[in-house]
Amino acid sequence: MKGKVYINGDLLPAEEASISVYDRGFQYGDGIFEGLRCYDGKIFKLKEHVQRLFQSARAIQMSIPLSHDEMCEAIKTTVRANGSLNAHIKPIVTRGYGWKLGLDPKNTTEANIVIIVREIGESMYAQADKGLRLAVVSLRKPPAYCLDPRVKSLNYLLNILARAEAQASGADEALLLDTQGYLAEGSADNIFLVREGMVYTPTLQSALAGITRQTVIDMAVASSIKVFEQSLTQYDIYNADEAFVTGSGAGIASVVQVDGRPVGEGRPGPITQRLIQRYAEVVKEGEPV
């Protein structure tokens, strides 16, 4: 542990940064978070991540005691305090302390705001260069009538168990289906398929509205590649020419295998590679810290 952690306006040495056991995020997962990347001293899509954080908060009736600009500033200040040029940034907001215990969201203090910065290299997946192996797992992504997938909440148990199930079967990442059997997303990323030069991705009914997902859609459209957001099944990925996953941590990572079957020719395909190259350019346009 090294560096500084932001907690409610203070920058504390990482080894001293802690939060009470009465925190609602610790007790119930009652909070939200974001995951951003800093590339060469520039934070990619800072405003979009902060906006999603505030939208998640609003959706779960949690108020953040900072303005959007103050949150952006707090994130930049924390990155500067860590002297990090290439980093993963994790802002976390919980509903605050619940001294009385119990679920009632009214029995809480003001929200707790934590920002953690961790130095990292290119991708969070060790396998990203060679291409990832996905496994369709038994756990299903709940629809919006359970918990809207646009809320990036601190309840990641489903995702953690999905990742563990995939890894137990020898894969690198999970592919979750929704309750109707359509492709939803990965445990920490959105899924894309390529077929006959066109790009397909599931709708947002059971998937997080990924900021990288939107960036990829914009990049593809700008390169005159057709993109379809539609219901997709395992049939579609087994018949895809290429597949890739997207996320702020992973960037764009090619998928070369699903359920032990090669995707297309079993190696990163040309459209995926083109998008990866373009993404490496686009991330240079982040906000300087």
Ligand X SMILES: Cc1ncc(COP(=O)(O)O)c(C=O)c1O
Which residues are marked as active site?
Answer: 152
Nearer to ligand X, 94 or 246 (CB): 246
How far apart (Å, rounded) are the C-alpha atoms in residues 171 and 186? 12
- Region 193-212 residues binding ligand X, contact defined as CB under 6 A: 208, 210-212
Residue 59: strand, helix, or coil: helix
Using CB under 6 A as the binding rule, whether residue 190 contacts ligand X is answered as yes
Site string for ligand X, 138-177 (x = CB under 6 A): ---------------------x------------------
Site string for ligand X, 212-251 (x = CB under 6 A): xx--------------------------------xxx---
Using CB under 6 A as the binding rule, whether residue 56 contacts ligand X is answered as no
Using CB under 6 A as the binding rule, whether residue 188 contacts ligand X is answered as yes
Which secondary structure element, helix H or strand E, spans residue 183, and what is its range? strand 183-186
- Three-state SS for 78-105 is HHHHHCCCCEEEEEEEECCECCCCCCCC
Q: Which of 148, 165, 173, 189 binds ligand X (CB under 6 A)?
A: 189
Asked if residues 82 and 32 have their Cβ atoms less than 8 Å apart, the reply is: no
Q: How far is the CB of 91 from ligand X (least distance, A)?
A: 12
Nearest to 210 by CA among 187, 193, 179: 187
Q: CA end-to-end span of the chain, whole Å?
A: 22
Q: In the complex, which residues of this chain contact ligand X (CB under 6 A)?
A: 35, 159, 185, 188-190, 208, 210-213, 246-248
